[in-house]
Amino acid sequence: MTLALVALAATARDYSHPVGYYKLQSNHSITTTLLGLEYSFEGVVADRWTLIGRAGLVPTGFTAYCGPDATGFEGYMGFGASFEARYYSSIKRRTEMGKDTYNNSSDFISIRLRANTYDGGPEVSITPAYGFRRAIGKHWVQEFTLGFRLGVNNDSGFFAPHAQYRIGFVF
């Protein structure tokens, strides 16, 4: 019983902050998008800067079609890993306004390098993006990002828009 209480106290987080105080938090999470499921670790590297490493099943593409015989949607998934540098641009402003910054709730600018399987071969892409992250209670977060992807797959290059909604459990 004592060991359980000590462990609980050691992992407890302080949810109260003085006005104007902000501090990014390192965290582990399991997140999902429309297609995919990833484990990620976000580590603080400097004031307002974090690095995020992710690995898991990721969306690699989709096709929507409409014709006289059939209408539908196909999504494709593959195994992937990514590293993302993220700058939380509004975390100081949010604290000065008295808004919550728990679990790194802030707007951010990021650049992500991702490698994944694609149609039996490798795909590598880089994605600059703008987004926002908001905490939903103590353990849940949601993120929305917009940007574009530049990449290479099967000896051909591509340029594609990037829009992503992600929801995750932080532990």
For residue range 142-157, list pLDDT tens digits in order: 999 999 999 998 878 9
The CATH code for residues 23-170 is 2.40.160
State if pTM tops 0.85.
Answer: no
**What are the b/e assignments for 19-45, b being 16+ CB within 10 Å?**
eeebebeebebebebeebebebebebe
Asked whether the predicted pLDDT for residue 128 surpasses 70, the reply is yes
pLDDT of residue 6: 43
Separation CA 2–CA 5 (nearest Å): 5
Give the residue extent of every domain in the chain: 23-170
Per the prediction, the chain carries an average pLDDT of 87
Q: What is the pLDDT of residues 75-100, one digit of tens each?
A: 888 899 999 999 999 999 999 998 98
